[in-house]
């Protein structure tokens, strides 16, 4: 079982995401990644295989990624080897939506085939990528509506964090049979797979 951290507020998100992920390291993981929406509305995604320290050094402790909303993830591979391509967050081809996931999407193969028949190209071996690609398939401007449609299609255990470049005011969390807690702050909100990531 690995980790998810999400942040939305007025502070730079990336250092907070890295700190939250560090508190989830005890859960075990093989790779890590973060996604942050910049003030210009661009989704920036960084991933690294191995220790969180590698990712942190790659983005200078988070300093390289500007923006006040984002997601962090530590992965424990269930579908697909530990690699940069398979690490989360998974982003849609147009760079508009990213998703992070803990758990297993049981019916991912059926959804993957459905999307491939409609010309969607997959870039990883994970079950998780179907969530991002299905969001792209359903998204018509209303993120929450697209998420609702995706949740009706997927089966299995999941904690999900989702953000969309077109909606930098929305940090979406969803869970079924996998832990995910929400932290309501003064001027900021967070999500995490364990409260240890929120305490500080």
Number of residues that bind ligand GLU (CB under 6 A): 15
Q: Per CB under 6 A, does 103 bind ligand GLU?
A: yes
Q: Per CB under 6 A, does 101 bind ligand GLU?
A: yes
Cα 121-74-173 angle, rounded to 5 deg: 75
H helices within 6-161, ranges in order? 13-23, 52-58, 108-117, 129-138, 143-153
Residues 127 to 146: which contact ligand GLU by CB under 6 A? 127-128
Among 126, 165, 167, 197, binds ligand GLU (CB under 6 A): 126
Whether residue 173 has a cis bond before it, omega within 30° of 0: no
Choose between 79 and 149: whose C-beta lies nearer to ligand GLU: 79
Least distance between ligand GLU and beta carbon 131 (Å): 10
Least distance between ligand GLU and beta carbon 4 (Å): 9
Choose between 86 and 133: whose C-beta lies nearer to ligand GLU: 86
Q: Per CB under 6 A, does 104 bind ligand GLU?
A: yes
Residue 13: count of CB within 10 angstroms of its CB: 30
Stretch that binds ligand GLU, among 15-23, 38-46, 60-68, 126-134 (CB under 6 A): 126-134
Q: Where are the beta strands (DSSP E) in 82-193?
A: 90-91, 97-105, 156-164, 172-176, 181-184, 189-192
Give Cβ neighbours of residue 169 (< 8 Å, ≥ 6 apart). 8, 69
Q: Per CB under 6 A, does 77 bind ligand GLU?
A: yes
Choose between 37 and 180: whose C-beta lies nearer to ligand GLU: 180
């Amino acid at each position: 079982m690995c980790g998810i951290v999400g942040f939305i507020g007025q502070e730079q998100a990336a250092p907070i995401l890295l700190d939250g992920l560090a508190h989830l390291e005890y859960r075990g993981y093989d790779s890590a990644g973060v996604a942050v929406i910049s003030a210009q509305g661009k989704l920036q995604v960084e991933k690294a295989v191995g220790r969180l320290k590698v990712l942190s050094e790659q983005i200078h402790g988070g300093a390289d990624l500007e923006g006040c909303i984002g997601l962090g993830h530590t992965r424990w591979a269930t579908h697909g080897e530990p690699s940069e391509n398979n690490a989360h967050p998974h982003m849609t081809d147009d760079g508009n939506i990213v998703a992070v996931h803990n758990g297993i999407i049981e019916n991912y193969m059926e959804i993957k085939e459905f999307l491939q028949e409609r010309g969607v190209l997959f870039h990883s071996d994970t079950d998780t990528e179907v969530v991002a690609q299905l969001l792209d398939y359903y998204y018509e401007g209303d993120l929450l509506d697209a998420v609702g449609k995706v949740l009706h299609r997927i089966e299995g255990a999941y904690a999900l964090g989702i953000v969309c470049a077109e909606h930098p005011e929305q940090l979406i969390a969803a869970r079924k049979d996998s832990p995910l807690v929400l932290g309501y702050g003064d001027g900021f909100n967070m999500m995490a797979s364990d409260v240890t990531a929120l305490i500080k």
